[in-house]
Structure 1
Amino acid sequence: MTIHRLNELSRADLPTAGGKGANLGELTRLGLAVPPGFVVSAGAYAEHARAWGLAERLAPHLATESWDAAAAEAAELFERGALLPTLERAVREAHRELGAPLVAVRSSATAEDLADASFAGQHETYLNVAGEDELLVALRRCWASLWSARALQYRAARGVDHLGVDIAVVVQRMVSADFAGVLFTVDPVAQRADRMLLEVAPGLGEAVVSGHTTGDVYRLRREPLAIDDRDHRVAGREAPSDTLVLQLGRLALDLEAHFGCPQDVEFAFEGRSIYLLQSRPITTLGGTDIEPLPPPPELSRLQRKMLEANDNDRFPVAPKPLDQWGFRMVIPALVNAMRLVGLDIDEADERATMAEVWREFFVLPSPRPTFRLLGLPQRVATVLRNDWMAWWETEAFVRILEVCAPVDLRALPDAALLLRADRIEETTREILFKRFEGILSQMAAIALRIPVTAAVGRKRAEAVMGDLVSGLHTRTSEVNLALFHLARKAVSAGPEVFRSIREGRPEDLRGSDEGRAYLAEVEAFLDEHGHRESTGLYLSAPTWRQDPAPMWGLLRSLLDTTEPPSEEAGQKRYQAALDEVTHALRFVPGLSDTFRNTLLQLRRAIVFRERSHYDLARVFSAQQAIVGEIARRLHERGHLPSPDDIFYLTEAEVRAWLGEGVPPLSEVKRLVQRRRATYGVVNGKWQKRAFGAGAEGAAGSDELRGTGASSGVVRGRARIVRDEREFGRLKPGEILVCRYTNPAWTPLFTLAAGVVTDTGGAASHAAIVAREYGIPAVLGAAGATTRITDGQEILVDGTEGRVLLLRLGVTGEVAFA
């Protein structure tokens, strides 16, 4: 049958009516007020798709994941294909049976409105459709929306078979709504099961759902049912009566009880009547099911200082579970260095740190001072005299190159692959034990601060100490110089090469001889520096070789830079500071010479630290390659839903799963989902601890308030995107700031670290997808696009619904350090 009246359908008719149609049929059968209408069955769509050869025409695009090309091909097909006469006649008759009113035409895919994926906003809705001809046009467009680029990307990200999904279309009489909106029977933002969240605005509910209108927000206590508080977002705007709101709340609780899970209910108020436009499961409550988290430990003063000195900059995001495998190489060496200086570490405490997976901050075992600390100055003096760079170049670096020498990982059996990882780990740990001993020489800075303070005074001492270690030539400065020269080669390679990089299209370089020649230069650069980390020394953080996007972004920024990064200014600051201090110390015999010699050794120690850190990134890169190969094997063997899921496993699980200890795939999926949810909580605490408190009280900071639509905290550079033509401006890891979002914008959420909008709220498609993707979002922050400067650093707190405006950035700025 082609046409089904809503009163003929129920939840059992999902394959026929799609998620939306089946749910509306169920509501109608319950005797609830649902606008009358009918469903054009999924079978009718499938019949036309077969007749038009849809699968054959789209197969090449699907195979290459060319989503835009597939969408364009489908759009043309559904616009021009001839409708079967029987279907056209049945649709016209059903519309006349309704009384030929204005109608709403809504897509209803067979894979949407499910308990684990909402597909919110991925398919089209058309309102106030007048006449039979316009209805048939809307029907075609709803069918075509199953193949939009955003719907294809959404399904691909969730492992949904594209050709296994059909689409029905719901046609309903339009409601002349006074107010409309969405009610969540459980607060999906605050993750509170004792409270409901309602957003309502005058007019059609689609304006709230799409994010074009900022609705008034109500928070309802579930038991006993009452309005806890309300947030009227527009002063003087009319609002529905409390009686009507509470009546809706009771109805929503009944729906939750009937369907057996929390519901996302779309509604309309017309006079004193409530019309239900949809009820579907809330798909974004996974964060309530998380791994047990240890309570934050009480930190000693020394631990707090170490935390402040290391975590914020070196570890800007929380590590994932598998990152502990990498820490196993580092933690023993750090603990050994602490013992060398005279701090006692309990072995049980050390083992607990080695085994720890979830923390809201990275912290070493609690150290206890011993009498050995009295010998620290002598030990630092001894270490300072050693030639650590010579040891590194003739021994340590040689061993690193040997153990990380390229091999065909695919050809290695599982046991040999793990053996290679073990050799890398063992070699690195041995090297790090001695490296950290050498880095103790940097504690000479503590001793040097005393004469510097005496020479220039306490207020200037810190700045002068910084000048005294400036102007150093490090491996980092060499990489930056090489990147500058690579950018200059792009300028001289010709306009096509320049344009491809400027416009962010490096893939176009393959289309010309000049472009291919330049790509060879890029490959040579990556051969030398591709192991460079972007986020930190995490196994889960890709290197430039694995993800060259940051490198291309830097090249794009450097295209207009005509002068290479220079150490000359730093060297001048160093020399001026040295002259000032030694001149002030000249009255104490021999002190100036001693100061000068100690400073020289300290500067050499810093260069050694930078060089060794750069080379040690090769070790992590080699381990990442092994992890990637293990992920590929587990995925191809059907043991892992996605290769990226491996970072949510522990080292012990990875080793066991390569053997015979793999749990069923359904259990693996639940485990990964739970770990991902846990990581969202941990990283939110990490970000808030590292950046939140200091930013709130920073001088010159400002704050915007909106609706916390997706919980979590993130700090980053804001990118203002005013319309679809500016989509290309957003770079991975930036915070999307825009006037509003609609479903066409949601593919950007795979790039954005967070979202801030002028309008919209917790009920919009943007909020739903943001929560599914797990990125913080503050919607309805009035004036965001005018008060936030493009490129400015901001902190988005999606839990509290606030945006902190921090310091201004410089668009395209590159820090040479």
Structure 2
Amino acid sequence: MVFTTEIKTTQDSLELIGGKGRSLARMACAGFAVPSGFLVTADAYRSYVSINELQTQILELAKAELRDGYPVFDSSSAAIKDLILSTAMGPAIAEEIRLAYADLNQDDLSVAVRSSANAEDLPGFSFAGQQETFLNVRGADAVIEAVRNCWASLWTAQALSYRHQNGIPQDSVVMAVVVQVMVPSEVSGILFTSNPATGERGELIINASFGLGEAVVGGQVTPDTFVVNRNDLTDIEITLGPKDHQIVYDGDQGVKLQEVRDKDREVSSLTDTQLQELCETALKVESLYEDVPQDIEWAFCDGQLHLLQSRPITNLPAQPIELEWVPSPPARFVSRRQIVENMPDPICPLFEELYLTRGLESPRPESLMVGGGPMFVTVNGFAYQRFDWPQIIAEAERREREKEDPREIAEGDIEVAEFKAFEDQIKQSKQASAKVAIPDLQPFKESLNELDRAAFNEWYLDNESESLDALITMPESNNPTYIAFNHTTQNDRQVKSWYEDSQPRLKAVANKWRAVDVASASDETLLEGVVDMGIEEGHYWSGGSSHTFGVAKSTDDQLQCFLREVLPKHNFISGQFLTGIESKTMQSNLDLFEIANLVRADKDLTYTVLVVPSQFLMQALRDHHKGSKVVSALEKYLKTYGHQGYSMDFLEPTQMEDPSALFASLKGMVRDKDYHPENQSKKTAAIRQQKMKEIGELLNGLEYWQFRFRLWLAYKYNFIREEVAFMFGYTWSILRPMAFELGRRLVEIGTFKQADDVFFMTSDQLEQAISERSHNRSMPELGELAAELREYREACKQHHPPGTLPALASEIDAVSFKETQIKNDEDSNVMRGFPVSSGSVTAKASVVLGPAEFDKMTPGSILVSPLTTPAWTQLFANAVGLVTDVGSILAHGSIVAREYGIPAVLGVGNGTIRIKHGQTITIDGDAGTVMILEESDS
């Protein structure tokens, strides 16, 4: 067994020389200036562990302990380090290291000793900074001791935790060690061959400072930053850092941090010549690694450039692109509202075709938009609803003419006439609705308790008039919110239609395709199922559910409008009064709480749930000898709620497929022993009672009973919002397996590169691919197209879509009335949004962009997210407040925040951009404000 090898080795197995060693060997063999030295192979570590019988002891020690309910590895790491450092290396390995060190041909030569694990410096796992490096090591004994310390650093708390979170088995890792002649650099640093922050492939980013590079790598100094155009290496942007410290030799052993002379701090650390050489060399290194963007450590000593390391840049964003936010004709005015509030990211082409275009349009025989075309469109992949109604187009054109010449407003123009007709329609509709709503007074009175009913009857008799009934049921207001769903006759008819038509129709489609055996179904059947379910889900919304949803939204809006108009200075919001309503969303939380109680009852299960990462928890529970009841409960839960996704787009997985985000919420419930849903009920009841008391002291007579009527109407129908939303994506857990099976077959034939390429096609393209497959032919150009569209989508995801396009459309009342985002000043620390749930709170922000980040949600923090869907509900158990980019009074987050009794401000537009994870913010759910108080400490 060979324990050492030269750096310029062709034996570049990851399992032999580790990630760092393999990279250095490859560069050295390619002729780059890599400092000379040798590699202590991973076989040396294996032999050391085997001879001393350490592996079993190490793995037994390498277990997490719980601290405040979170897994930590500090004690494990310390125990393993003590074990390794107290165990002799063994003469054979030590002797080989001595000989290799002696071959460097200089007594007590200063060397760098660096860790090189088999799971580091890889495209998916960098392990940056988690294992040890020892600098200015002199003498064979010191080198041997440094090697042992490198072995011990395989088990640092950071490395243990990183492997644990990423599912890398602790028994699979080994450590090689790099020993290189020290480069006493005058200047050193890091170079990225692409911008790691923005993803820009056309930029080289260099951080440089004086002394050894560890000061830059370890963040101990603010270096100079150079941004270089990779195309010609001449377009340079330089930002000089203070460079107040540098790392230098500390005598014969080790290094120290010392101050940089004042005069050196003000000059560039790199000359133009050095910068040019560094950039040219970096591009050659990237070419060596097949043009994969690289993170390169380098140093200059006596005018010569040395390469100390190169590894792939991890988590590199997509190449940024410039986007124009202009709707494509015939669309003119669009807004991110209605059903698209549930689509936070750019949608995939297949979803756009089936759901957005064909499904949502299927119930309409002809377009309702001026200029024709669908009501829902995309701009740069993001879904929008069109606002090209005749009255809005008319008002926009009138405003345009008024700007050009205020004296030439064409009063006789047909567009203006249409707009005035719309205003008249509001008045007429309100008058008609007032008459229809009069019969609602009787069930309203019956809903009152005996005391309130007596008070109402007494007041009514004292004020009886011909118009009194109409005044109670329809307040004087010009707000258009009162013209729709304002009486029980219409509302009950709409709700009944949903129960008897919309819901059963979607369930029937689901049952039809659930019966299909995916594995044996023909390609044509698979595609037919995908198309049918995609269209039917769209039909579910536009064929009736949107109006049923509108019943809840309109009655809530009417209550909100009344409060704002009658008591404008008191910050009352409808959400203060609409709490305690049973819903499927809250039931899902209760069901999850019951599972948490099962876990809490057993300390072994509690340990497993809190320690095992969410993405691996289901299997860990299946393997646990006490886990059967919990697994059964989880399976039952997922059978009921598993169809719910984190986005309406069927490109994204459902909870059934990926319950890891659900488990992040389960962990929170298990961790917080004081959490109980009853506490929420008591809290919301107290808020409701207090607000009812306050408003009772402010209103009397007609206004008080108008309020009570609007509250009764809103409360009566509030539940249906969650009933409708519960069915969103009902068929996706059936559709996605069919789509993936079709995609798998097209990968097999050579058309696709990966199965989910299917989502980046249109149905016509899939039909063509199926036809070619039936003749044993592939269409690889479709796979290439899918890759391009996937990359484009990732680039678009880096942009924040405006709430309304064009922005000036927000000046039109009929548009702003329906907006779900407020435009905020990007330089102000105060943002405005829609106040939807009462109260004020100051706390740290947990910025969670999607289900992959659910683990970032910390107890007692304010959840800041693009939006929330039912699949986000469990996060609320740990939240003390809510802020979203998109949403308004009846968005999902509004409803759930009310039930949890936490303040919420929705629709701030750019909250996830402005607010950083860990920042302290204050939200006021009555005033609709969010204030950033301090910088992030994360």
The counterpart of 1:435, out of the listed 539, 542, 545, is 545
2:187–2:270 contact (8 Å) kept in structure 1: no
Maintained 8 Å contact 1:326/1:620: no
Q: 1:578: Cα distance to partner? A: 8.6
Partner of 2:480: none
Distance 2:152 2:279 in 1: 35
1:521 has 2:638 as partner = no
Identity %: 19
Equivalent residue number for residue 785 of structure 1:
none
Q: 1:199 aligns with which of 201, 207, 227?
A: 207
> Does the 8 Å CA contact 2:295/2:312 hold for their aligned counterparts?
yes
Q: Could you tell me which residue of structure 1 aligns to residue 277 of structure 2?
A: 251
* Structure 1 match to 2:388: 367
Query: Separation in 1 of the partners of 2:238 and 2:636?
Result: 63
1:375/1:571 CA distance change after superposition, 3 Å? same
Distance 2:88 2:770 in 1: 50
Q: Alpha-carbon deviations, 1:382-420, whole Å to 9, x = none? A: 883443333333333333333323446444414333333
Q: 2 CA distance for matches of 1:651 and 1:142?
A: 55
In the alignment, which residue of structure 2 is the partner of 1:401?
Answer: 507
SS of the residue corresponding to residue 324 of structure 2 reads: coil
The SS at the match of 1:105 is strand
Distance 1:638 1:80 in 2: 54
Aligned to 1:611: 723
**Residue 575 of structure 2 corresponds to residue 480 of structure 1:** no
Answering whether residue 372 of structure 2 is matched by residue 268 of structure 1, we say no
Residue 327 of structure 1: how far off its partner (Å): 7.5
Equivalent residue, structure 2, for 1:380: 484
- The answer to whether the 8 Å contact 2:187/2:208 transfers is yes
Judging changes above 3 Å, is the alpha-carbon distance between structure 1 residues 142 and 691 closer, same or farther for their aligned structure 2 residues?
Answer: farther
Change (3 A) 1:539 1:269: closer
Is contact 1:467–1:573 with CA below 8 Å preserved after alignment? no
Partner of 2:415: none
Distance 1:489 1:258, change over 3 A: closer
What is the DSSP-based 3-state SS (H/G/I as helix, E as strand, rest coil) of the residue aligned with 1:609?
helix
Name the aligned partner's letter for residue 95 of structure 1: Y
Task: State the SS of the aligned residue for 1:180.
Answer: strand
Aligned to 2:109: 101
Write the distance in 1 (CA, Å) between the matches of 2:200 and 2:557: 53
Deviations 1:511-532 (A, max 9, x none): 7786533443343333333334
- Residue identity in the other structure for 1:540: E
Secondary structure class of the residue paired with 2:633: helix
- Distance (Å, rounded) in 1 between the aligned partners of 2:218 and 2:658: 36
Tell me, yes or no, if structure 1 residue 456 matches structure 2 residue 456. Answer: no
**Aligned residues of 1:14 and 1:22 also touching (Cα < 8 A):** no
Aligned to 2:402: none
Q: Secondary structure of 2:197's partner?
A: coil
Give the Cα separation in 2 of the matches to 1:13 and 1:498: 40
Whether 1:413 and 2:521 are equivalent positions in the alignment is yes
Q: Which residue of 2 aligns with 1:242?
A: 268
Alpha carbons 1:318, 1:686 under 8 Å: kept: no
**Structure 1 residues 413-422 or 187-196, which shifts more?**
187-196
**Unmatched 5+ stretches in structure 1:** 61-67, 702-714, 720-729, 737-793, 811-817
Summarize the Cα distance change of 1:429–1:212 in structure 2 as closer, same or farther, 3 Å threshold: same
Paired position in structure 1 for 2:238: 228
Deviation at 1:252, TM superposition (A): 1.1
What's the offset of the Cα at 1:469?
A: 4.4
Classify the secondary structure of the residue corresponding to 1:362: strand
Please state whether the residue corresponding to 2:675 is helix, strand or coil: coil
Which residue of structure 1 aligns with residue 324 of structure 2? 295
In the alignment, structure 2 segments of 5+ residues that lack a partner are: 60-71, 246-258, 392-417, 433-482, 804-819, 832-843, 860-909, 925-938
Deviation per CA, 1:255-298, whole angstroms, max 9, x where unpaired? 1465556765423345x5444133647656975757x7752116
> 1:194 and 1:349, CA in 2 relative to 1: closer, same or farther beyond 3 A?
same
CA RMSD, 1 decimal: 6.2
Offset of 1:318 from its aligned partner?
Answer: 1.2
Q: 1:732 maps to which residue?
A: 855
CA distance in 2, matches of 1:257, 1:187: 14
Retained in 2: the 8 A contact 1:124–1:141? yes
Q: CA deviation at 1:310?
A: 7.1
Task: Assess if the C-alpha contact under 8 Å between 1:326 and 1:539 holds in 2.
Answer: no
The residue identity in structure 2 corresponding to 1:438 is: T
Distance 1:430 1:47, change over 3 A: closer
Conserved? CA contact 2:190–2:297, under 8 Å:
yes
Q: Corresponding residue for 2:397?
A: none
**Paired residue type of 1:561:** Y
Task: Letter of the 2:103 partner, please give it.
Answer: E
Counterpart CA distance in 2 for 1:227 and 1:402 is: 62
**What is the distance in 2 between the residues matched to 1:107 and 1:479?**
48
Structure 1 residues 634 and 205, CA gap change in structure 2 (3 angstroms): farther
8 A contact 1:122–1:151 mirrored in 2: no
Distance 1:83 1:666 in 2: 56
1:684 corresponds to 2:798: yes
8 Å CA contact retained: 1:179, 1:269? yes
Relative distance call for 1:512 and 1:247 in structure 2 (3 A) is closer
- Equivalence for 2:702: 585
| Aligned partners of 1:200 and 1:216 also within 8 Å | yes
Pairing 1:116-127 to 2, within 5 Å after superposition: 125-127=133-135
Corresponding residue of 1:546? 658
1:328 and 2:354 matched:
yes
Distance in 2 (alpha carbons) for counterparts of 1:11 and 1:497? 45
Q: Distance in 1 between matches of 2:724 and 2:535?
A: 17
Alignment of 1:497-536 (within 5 A): 497=605, 501=609, 515-534=627-646
The change in CA–CA distance for 1:673 and 1:524 in structure 2 (over 3 A counts) is same
Query: Where do residues 561-576 of structure 1 align in structure 2 (5 Å cutoff)?
Result: 561-562=675-676, 563=678, 565-566=680-681, 568-569=685-686, 572=689
Alpha-carbon distance in 1 for matches of 2:243, 2:197: 18
SS at 1:685's partner residue?
A: coil
The equivalent of 2:498 in structure 1 is 392
Q: 1:638 to 1:16 in 2, by over 3 A?
A: farther
**Superposed, which structure 2 residues align to 1:571-650 within 5 Å?**
572=689, 583-585=700-702, 600-627=712-739, 629-630=741-742
Match of 1:717 in 2: 846
1:318 aligns with 2:326: no
Aligned match of 2:336 in 287, 307, 314?
Answer: 307
Q: Which has the higher relative contact order, 1 or 2, with Cα contacts under 8 A spaced 6 or more apart? A: 1
Counterpart residue number, 2:308: 278
- AA of the residue aligned to 1:585: L
Count, aligned residues: 694
Find the aligned partners of 1:309 and 1:553 in 2 and give their Cα distance.
33
CA separation in 2, counterparts of 1:274 and 1:486?
A: 63
Q: Judging changes above 3 Å, is the alpha-carbon distance between structure 1 residues 582 and 47 closer, same or farther for their aligned structure 2 residues?
A: closer
For the structure 1 residues 682 and 368, does the alpha-carbon distance in structure 2 shift closer, same or farther, using more than 3 Å as the test?
same
* Distance in 2 (alpha carbons) for counterparts of 1:674 and 1:396: 37
Matches within 5 A, 1:121-200: 125-132=133-140, 135=143, 170-184=178-192, 187-191=195-199, 196-200=204-208
Q: 1:320 to 1:425 in 2, by over 3 A?
A: closer
Cα distance in 2, alignment partners of residues 337 and 466 from structure 1? 33
CA gap of 1:284–1:92, structure 2 versus 1, over 3 A, is: same
Moved more, 608-617 or 302-311: 302-311
Q: What is the distance in 2 between the residues matched to 1:483 and 1:158?
A: 25
User: Residue 231 of structure 1: SS of its match in structure 2?
Assistant: coil
Amino acid at match of 1:614: F
Per the alignment, residue 674 of structure 2 pairs with 560
Against the structure 1 CA distance between its residues 116 and 225, is the aligned structure 2 distance closer, same or farther, given a 3 Å change threshold?
A: farther
User: Aligned to 1:463, what secondary structure does the other structure show?
Assistant: coil
Which of structures 1 and 2 has the bigger CA Rg? 2
Contact 2:519–2:741, Cα closer than 8 Å, also in 1: no
Q: Give the counterpart letter for 1:21 in structure 2.
A: L
**Structure 2 counterpart SS, 1:686:** coil
**Structure-2 residue corresponding to 1:344:** 369
How far apart in 2 are the matches of 1:535 and 1:207?
43
Closer, same or farther: CA 253–447 of 1 in aligned 2, 3 Å: closer
The alpha carbon displacement at 1:48 in A equals 7.8
